[in-house]
Structure 1
Amino acid sequence: MLDRSTLDCRSYLPVWLTLAYIFLSCLASPAIADTRENDDDIISIGITVENKPYSFIEGRTVSGFSIDLLREISANNGLKFTYRIGPWPEVYSALQQGHLDAIDGISYREDKANDLLFTDPYYVRQTVVMQDSDNPVGAIDSLEDLKNLRVGIVEDIYYRSLLVDNGISTTSYGSLADLVRALAFGWVDVIIGPSLTLEFTANEAGFRFLKVIGPAPLGPLTDEDLRIAVPKTNPGLFERINDGLNAIPQQRKAELLRRWQEFGGVSLSEAPDFRLNPEARRFLRELGPIRVGLMKDYAPFSFKDGGKLQGLTVDVLNRVSDLTGIQVIPVAGQWSELYSMLKGGEIDVLANMSENQERLAFTRFTEPYYNIPNVVFSRDDSLEFKGLASLRGRTVALGADIYYEEQVVQALGNDARVYSTQEAMFQALEHGDVDVVLASLPNGNFWVREQAIPDVRIVGELNFDGHSGEDLRFGVALSRAPLAGIFNRALEAISPTERRIIEDRWLGASASLEPHQQNELAFSPIEKGWLEKHGSQITYCIDNDWKPLEGLDDSGRHTGLSAEVLRLFSERSDIRFIRVPTESWPEALEAARTRKCDLLSLAMKTPERSQFMSFTEPYVEVPNIVLGRIESPFIESVSELRGKPVGVVAGYAFLELLRNRYPGLELREVSDENEGLRLLQGGELSGYVTTLATASYHIQNLGLADLKVIGRIPADWSLSVAVRNDDPILLGILEKLVASLGPAERNRLEGYWRDIRIEQSVDYSILWQILAGVGFLAALLIYWNRKLGRLNRELEQANATLARLSVTDDLTQLGNRSYFDLEFRKGFQWCQRHSTGYAVAMVDADLFKQINDTYGHEAGDACLIRLADTMRAHFRRETDRLSRFGGEEFVICTSYQDREDTIKRLNDFRKTIEDTPVFFNGHEIHVTVSIGLATGIPEPDDTAAEFLRLADQALYAAKENGRNRLEVRAVRE
């Protein structure tokens, strides 16, 4: 009987690779004979190549489960292995000829036992049946169950004759990788092969929907034992290897096996302690929020469902944001739109982007966070795909600006049709408008299932420039180039467990989106008690002039989208929502801040508002645009309005974004939409920032035919219910109400503004009104002069406020980085001139990431606010300067006469933080801080940077020495 392991390995290795591996084996194990003569502990061992995940070449080193076991043996008994790498026949022949001391991955055979000593098996490899879990075939308990199926096997495999003799139809493939792809593409119904290898290959390729059914019904051929063998002429070596193998704990073997089976060999430890270098941290502190483009129709990686942007890429991005502290503003759109925005600098990062030479001119790429194959979908049974040339004469759909667009168009000419969305491509395939669709495998499978398109099959795999797949990366604009390295650091820090959870969520068998049902609304006993105590009444405030989203009708009644939302909430919960009257949106915000109302029915989350409000998940998103006069040119970027007056309603969320991203804009705050539009119409504003919904409504209802949309802000309004942050029970109630909105309801709500049409017609009543008002022109001019005087005074006040806000941290109300840069050097120079002691303390909240991960970012913000308040209470002297350096880092700068007094004040502050927990949403959160202090009397040759460097070193020492402590460094001892 032929040796199964011999045939197994030979069948997996293409002939052309054999010569390459023989060459590599020479590189990997030079001068074996000479080495053995010099050191008896150096052992040459034969390794089968391309036997993933047991043994294979990775770069110029060997890797795999078997290699890890050999390293464990080496650690246990001091043996050092050099590897002879090659196909099984060559390795086994070398052992027989005495050129090797041992061989790995061999099965026990009676006839071989005459010449070899076998260790106990370190793994029993089971031959299994694997299926596509989206297209299950049922139980396979016998060969009879395989007869009506298309069965894939590796060519010349040892059990092929058994299958053929039993009348089973088989299709052979040259390698296990090809076998797995055949199942993923639907060319066969099941495949048969070694369990661990199939699972490893499927996971490595991203085909997590492929699952093992169970053992293959092959009788005694099902199991294969893997061992290490040594010639009988060397029993001493055998004993050492066998003892070293048996000394490996079973738990450790299981861990190594799981490492290769599930995580591709990556360490199972959790993510490393994520820490950026000072330069990267400084860059992030000065960066502010970033705009990230995400395709809204690229399921399962990024897509909108039920009004919410979600997908694998979104989860990865959220994890990067958690690790780095970067505030992300998602910009959803179609690929071609987002691609142009990245090139034009309107967004900072574009997700789901593949690297190519052309894009490197304006993009810096991260490492791939996922690789997916590109395939050919068709309903044509006669089509045999053998490269792009075989598609000539058929209409072929592909996505706009996809990295292979140019190659396809060049090859197919007019047969290639470019579509802006994935959905449109597959609709065209369903209706027979195209014969073929080129798309990535997960995206295509999603749309085929979503649109229930019958008879679609994968006829082949696309290969461009030697690449069989699409590498998904984050593309970073050149102006934000350091972000690429920061993103890479964060991607590396995502643990294998986290990666698997994310991939399983979107690419596993359960990834198919099920039809949404309206969520059942079930309040907890505590929530029911809260409602009973408050008489099932909740007060709220609105923006009176934000129609059609929300506003007041002629009778003073709440109307618009948010009114409909509250009506739905009231119907399904018996809660009565009572509006608290306010005159304007700033007044509504102030009412919420002072707890005169419990919630804002429609608001966007900002750092400033998060100080006094918590936010539910968004329930509607509205595009953000720029209006201009009819004669104004269209703008590609908001930066084109630099130096020109641009209006925005006071208190609106996007004021923060605009001030941070477009400092050159001359922003003018207006009291409401009507005032902004009138100022724009009168030429006093060059642009007016608002939502598409409200702009459409006002232009139509006020007859403002001389206004138009001239551009778009690259970020949309994500609008939520904002709830007072001192009542976590109320927040839970509103979160459940928002979650109860089903897709149909959300779509109907969006119809409140999407159905509005802008009619570009002249309202002649306006003309007559203007003519009738000419007589009052003189009086109006007098009034206007007085109004200008008032506006100038208000502008001076606004500029003073702006100056204060420009150096104030929004969350903590301490100084920001700009304040630190100004005051740090000023204080240092004063102490230098007056020979007075100068102290710089860097304060860092300990294990702050754990607080965010455990209790959420809002809890983290509450802790930072408490920390800042405590800092203010302990450092209130005239010479004390407090600032938030970034994230959870703060800096205290002060002059001193008594160094020990400064140390005492810092220790008192640290102990107060330790002894005063933060209560948030029913949780008692304990926070501690580590402090690094640098002190000294600055001399003429000293620099402020030296003090800061020493404080940073002291802070690092405080962290290393156990945290919750103060470490002191003196400039001169």
Structure 2
Amino acid sequence: MLLWPQTQLIAESAPESDKISVGVTADNAPYSFLEGRALSGYSADILREISFNSGLEFEFRAGSWPELYKAFVAGELDAIDAISYRGYLSDKVLFTEPYHIRQTYLMHDSSRPVGPIDSMDDLRDLQVGVVENMFYVPFLKDQGINIVTYDSILALVRALAFGWVDIAIGPRLSLDYHADTAGFHFLNIVGSAPFDQQSLEDLRIGVQKDQPELFEAIQAALKKIPESRKVELLRRWQEFGGAQTGDQPSLQLDEREQRFLQELGPMRVGVVQDYAPFSFRDGGRLQGLSVDIINRLADMTGIQIIPVSGQWADLLGMFREGRIDILANMSMDRERLSFTQFTDPYYIIPNVAFTRNGGVELNSIDDLRGYDVAITADIFYQDELTQRLGNAAKVFTSQEAMFQALEQERVDVVVSSLPSGNYWIRELNIPGVRIAGELTFENQSGEDLRFGVQTTLEPLAEILNKALATISPTELRSIENRWLGAAMDNGSNEPSELTLSTAEKNWLEQRDYTLSYCVDSDWMPLEGIDSSGNHAGLSAEALRLFSERTNIRFRLVRTKTWQESLDAARDRECDLLPLAMKTPERARYLNFTDPYLQVPNIVLGRIEAPFIEGLGDLREKAIGLVKGYAFAELLKYRYPRLQLVEVENETEGLKLVQENELAGYVTTLPTASYHMQSQGLADLKVIGRIPADWSLSVATRSDQDLLLSIMQKVVASLSEQERRNLESYWRDVRIEQSVDYTLLWQVLAIALLGASLLVYWNRKLDRLNRDLAVANDTLARLSVTDNLTQLGNRSFFDREFRKSFQWCQRNETGLAVAMVDADHFKTINDTFGHEAGDHCLIALADVMRRHFRRETDRLSRFGGEEFVIFTSYHHPEEVIERLDRFREAVADSSTIYSGKSIHLTISIGLATGVPAPADTPAEFLRLADQALYAAKQNGRNRLETRTVKD
């Protein structure tokens, strides 16, 4: 690197002759380094302190150490920073006293510990990484140590993280700084280097021998810096990356942004459920670094978060369709900018190549040629890799599946983020995996984790940016250490230690360790009040655990409805709600712990009702929900055209659905299962899934901050086994029939009548069983049948397509997937009306059934005027011929509606191939869709084909 020119000055007001030129190393972070054109670091801070104390104006010139030292010896610099005292230089250089003595340390990967290093002998069997030209390199060579040199501390730290060396040697501050900055929290200092005096390095300022006055001024100014100030500056760079350690500024929003947040409804946030340690589901709850950060942003902004978990490809599709508002772990690329506002990155992680092949180095895409490479579906570099590698790029729907394929030798290389890959290697216990190199995509050195925000939600992205910038370095480091540290605990089966502060204990003692609470009286199996007036359900079990852990006695305040319980909490008649979801309205009078239970959110309907893709399908229809439930706020905001009917309790809501007064009823899966079992509701079914789960916490009265602190500690102390037990409480619910033995004598007294009734009951039971069988058959048929065309619906496709794919994969048989789309269908609807359009679709389905009647043929309506045909084959030409005959039959026929003849043509996109072990159903469907697009572009009323395997 060349020295910066004379124009790069720190102080511009002084005349040229008054400026002191000081050489400062540009690549010695965090002691000295460049951020843009500004000099940063601990040494830079010391030099600025000296400038302030002396009145000298420094002109910093940055470069590499060899360049700087050469310029200093040649007299081109007045002074040089970070030089160590050497006797042979004393006739040329005046050395100040040291402003910092740094010890040389050893760093290792705690997942590959090297054991104690007490002497040079302990290093002899290790690959030892060092920065070239360090003063101790000759000493190590003389001792016969097997060293590998790197050109910078950053390169050295990455080599250790990737497993290329066993141990790294360098200054502790620099090693820790670069490890933290790169996200390598599994790298830890193992001890000081066993070099005796060779391991100490003194940092001083060197001044030209012929400038004694300058030397005296710098020396005097250096002595004026208190040791406490040096310690503060060092700690700032060691622990906080250079940021101030004082109070962070609060979140400052302008009037427009404040008004926007006040009018903002609940936000559905997509979170990948298998992207550990950034986001993953464990023990029934979402957790990880990204989850902690979005929760912190919600606390700072007041936004209500509704988590939506799933696979990345599914979540990205939902985000594009507007079904979720914010998407976590989203990297920015050009294509996504068309439909996404991006926040600044909250974390950047390297993408590396994992392999079980020894000795290979993979540092670029070209290096991957000749290998089968696994990547995650819809990752930001998918298009770049598939274009460059073709069929060698294998797309998987989950991280776990990729690493299972690596273990089973179905792929040679897995490309993944470093922390996530390390997690799955440990989780699956895969032997012999190594990192072959770091990869760069689209000129990005790492994967930038951001929050993607719907473009319609301006200015939410900027608000989140301001909140991200306000998170203190201390708090951010705490979050990172929690999830990225080497000893990351993904869940213990033992409860965490619970320690209450003196203030918390005193607060409980003043209340005789007794807290009052309210529940929903009719929300079983989650919670309820039984016929004896006692608290029952999952939340009763949770309170039992809480009581055992703290000796707190929980006293039930009985209410008749959930709304009464909310009113009682608002009026301070009860201290807490054991199972509640946070909403903006409730946050005015309640505080909430972290969620400890998540349950699915569903829509119930009558058995003959069609399945729905989302609540938008029920616009203008009456939808029931218990009064006061959290999702009432979400639904009113998100679906204003729904006719939301608030009912008093679950029983009333289910009854109104049975009586056909409600088109649907929003509830949780546990409560729906419970009532359908206990009441024998065979005429109801689940008709849809709402893309947002109930995140249930303990809610405490907002005027008692110590109560929130106590309950947060209690919830945090739950072990993963206890959380799983609570979740299984509702999953394994059983309905027990009680027997009233007091009526036994009456039964015996009328035995004869009982016998007669038994005959009657058997006949009635037979009839009921027949009716139930018919209902079940109806349910099974309707659940997978499109209401209009009577072909399979999307649920049918999702189930049968995967089955057909797996059958063909196992039997090495060809699979054909054809996407069929009616040409210019909008014109037909606009010209003849939607009823005529529906008539055409029914006729099209009839033609399809006549041409595809074989046992392996599967037909489904994919949505609108689009259909999918999939089948197995022995010769692809046969499938192409059948599809062409079908296309011609549609074109040659016409549909008569209201006396008018309507002609319809279709375009078909076909994908064929024999599914390989690494192939996915999505790959076949994607190629069929591409072929269909080509058919549309090339004139319509035609068939285009694509082959999955050449």
TM-score by length of 2: 0.69
**CA deviation after TM superposition for structure 1 residue 764, in Å:** 6.3
Residues 533 and 721 of structure 1: is their aligned pair in 2 closer, same or farther, counting only changes over 3 Å? closer
Paired residues for 1:374-453 under 5 Å:
374-381=351-358, 383-392=360-369, 394-453=371-430
1:235 corresponds to which of 212, 237, 246: 212
Q: Which residue number corresponds to residue 642 of structure 1?
A: 619
| Corresponding residue SS for 1:46 | strand
Paired AA for residue 618 in structure 2? L
Q: 1:65 to 1:594 in 2, by over 3 A?
A: closer
Looking at structure 2, the residues matched to 165 and 208 of structure 1 have their Cα atoms a distance apart, in angstroms, of: 33
Alpha-carbon distance in 2 for matches of 1:361, 1:655: 32
Q: Distance in 2 between matches of 1:248 and 1:697?
A: 71
Structure 2 match to 1:971: none
Contact 1:298/1:422 (8 A) holds in 2: yes
1:673 Cα offset (Å): 3.3
Do the aligned partners of 1:628 and 1:686 also contact (CA within 8 Å) in 2? yes
1:202 aligns with 2:202: no
In 2, Cα distance between the equivalents of 1:723 and 1:100? 65
Residue 357 of structure 1: aligned partner: 334
- Partners in 2 of 1:739 and 1:620 — Cα distance? 12
Match of 1:885 in 2: none
Number of the residue aligned with 1:280: 257
2:447 is matched with which residue? Answer: 470
Distance 1:586 1:60, change over 3 A: closer
Q: CA RMSD in A?
A: 4.0
How do 1:527-606 residues align onto structure 2 when only pairs under 5 Å count?
A: 541-544=519-522, 546-550=523-527, 560-562=537-539, 564-565=541-542, 584-586=561-563, 602-606=579-583
Query: Deviation at 1:532?
Result: 7.5
Question: Structure 1 CA distance, aligned partners of 2:716 and 2:256?
Answer: 41
Is 2:322 aligned against 1:319?
A: no
Matched-pair contact (CA < 8 Å) for 1:703–1:763 = no
The answer for the alignment partner of 1:173 in structure 2 is 150
Whole-Å separation in 1 of the counterparts to 2:668 and 2:730: 10
1:581-630 Cα deviation digits (max 9, x unpaired): 76554456567677887765644344555677665654421111233456
AA aligned opposite 2:119? S
CA contact (8 A) 1:628 1:709 kept: yes
Asked if the contact 2:497/2:717 (under 8 Å) is kept, the reply is: yes
Q: Deviations over 1:123-171 (max 9, x none)?
A: 2343322222333323323211101212112345453343233332222
Question: In the TM superposition, what is the alpha-carbon distance from 1:29 to its structure 2 partner?
Answer: 6.5
Bigger mean CA deviation after superposition, 563-572 or 376-385: 563-572
Partner-residue secondary structure (3-state), 2:90: helix
SS of match in other structure, 1:511: coil
Q: Is 1:659 paired with 2:639?
A: no
2:65 to 68, 88, 91: 88
> CA 1:429–1:593 in structure 2 vs 1: closer, same or farther (change >3 Å)?
same
Equivalent-residue separation in structure 1 for 2:600 and 2:330 (angstroms)? 23
Q: CA 1:110–1:444 in structure 2 vs 1: closer, same or farther (change >3 Å)? A: same
Q: How many residues align?
A: 741
Q: 1:31 to 1:135 in 2, by over 3 A?
A: closer
Paired residue type of 2:768: S
Residue 76 of structure 2 aligns with which residue? 99
Aligned-partner Cα distance in 1 for 2:526–2:200: 66
Match of 1:765 in 2: 768
Match of 1:348 in 2: 325
How far has the Cα of 1:529 moved from its partner? 6.5
When residues 583 and 167 of structure 1 are mapped into structure 2, their CA distance, relative to the original with a 3 A threshold, is: same
Determine if the alignment matches structure 1 residue 28 to structure 2 residue 8.
yes
Distance 2:610 2:597 in 1: 30
- Aligned to 1:304, the other structure's residue is in SS state strand
- Alignment-mate amino acid for residue 358 of structure 2: D
| Structure-2 separation of matches of 1:693 and 1:302 | 25
In structure 2, the partner of 1:300 is 277
Deviation at 1:231, TM superposition (A): 2.3
Take 1:724 and 1:266, find their aligned partners in 2: how far apart are those partners? 36
- The separation in 1 between residues aligned to 2:27 and 2:497, in whole angstroms, is 53
**Offset, 1:360:** 0.9
Task: Note the C-alpha offset of 1:115.
Answer: 2.7
2:343 to 344, 366, 379: 366
Match of 2:889 in 1: none
Q: 2:195 aligns with which of 190, 195, 218?
A: 218
Aligned in 2, Cα 1:430/1:526: closer, same or farther, shift over 3 Å?
Answer: farther
CA gap 1:701/1:227 in 2 versus in 1, 3 angstroms: same
- Aligned residue identity for 1:226: L
In the alignment, does 2:168 pair up with 1:185?
no
Q: Is the 8 A contact 1:64 1:265 kept in 2?
A: yes
CA contact (8 A) 2:241 2:473 kept: no
Q: Secondary structure at the match of 1:282?
A: helix
**Distance change in 2, residues 1:127/1:556 (3 Å):** closer
Matching residue's letter, 1:28: Q
Q: Is the 8 A contact 1:601 1:720 kept in 2?
A: yes
Question: Per the alignment, do residues 243 and 640 of structure 1 end up closer, same or farther by CA in structure 2, a change over 3 Å counting?
Answer: farther
The answer as to whether partners of 1:25 and 1:85 remain within 8 angstroms in 2 is no
Quote how far apart the aligned CAs of 1:183 are.
Answer: 0.7
What is the distance in 2 between the residues matched to 1:770 and 1:207?
A: 59
Give SS of 2:28's match: coil
Change (3 A) 1:207 1:594: closer
Compute the displacement of 1:485 (Å). 0.9
SS in structure 1 at match of 2:59: strand
Contact 1:25 1:86 in 2 (8 A): no
Partner of 1:339: 316
Deviates more, 1:117-126 or 1:624-633: 624-633
Q: Is residue 682–residue 772 contact of structure 2 (8 Å, CA) maintained in 1?
A: no
* Residue pair 2:307, 2:695 contacting (<8 A) in 1 also: no
Name the residue aligned to 1:693.
670
User: Which of 495, 503, 515 is matched with 2:472 structurally?
Assistant: 495
CA–CA separation in structure 1 for the residues paired with 2:588 and 2:139:
71
Aligned-partner Cα distance in 2 for 1:125–1:568: 51
SS in structure 2 opposite 1:315? helix
Question: Is 410-419 or 582-591 further displaced after alignment?
Answer: 582-591
Letter in 2 for 1:244: A
Cα 1:26/1:436, change in 2 over 3 Å: same
How has the CA–CA distance of structure 1 residues 529 and 328 changed in structure 2, closer, same or farther, with 3 Å as cutoff?
A: same
Letter in 1 for 2:8: A
Do the aligned residues in 2 keep the contact of 1:538 with 1:575 (CA within 8 Å)? no
Amino acid at match of 2:450: R
Which residue type is aligned with residue 689 of structure 1? V
Corresponding residue of 2:761: none
Q: SS of 1:114's equivalent?
A: coil
1:562–1:602 CA contact under 8 A, matched in 2: yes
Is the CA contact (8 Å cut-off) linking 1:541 and 1:597 kept in structure 2? no
Question: Helix, strand or coil for the counterpart of 1:326?
Answer: coil
Correspondences of 1:838-853 after superposition (within 5 Å): none
> Does the C-alpha gap of structure 1 residues 69 and 306 become closer, same or farther in structure 2, counting only changes over 3 Å?
same
1-structure distance, mates of 2:33, 2:702: 56
Q: Label 1:588 to 1:179 Cα distance change in 2 as closer, same or farther (>3 A).
A: closer
Pair 424,751 (structure 1): closer, same or farther in 2 beyond 3 Å: farther
Distance across 1 between alignment mates of 2:547 and 2:480: 38
1:572 and 1:172 mapped to 2: Cα distance? 54
* Residues 1:423 and 1:238: Cα distance change in structure 2 (over 3 Å): same
Q: Is the 8 A contact 2:289 2:480 kept in 1?
A: yes
Alignment correspondent of 1:263: 240
Query: Unaligned regions of 5+ residues in structure 1, if any?
Result: 1-17, 772-973
Structure 2 CA distance for aligned equivalents of residues 263 and 312 of structure 1: 18
Supply the distance in 2 between the matched residues of 1:613 and 1:46 (Cα, whole angstroms): 58
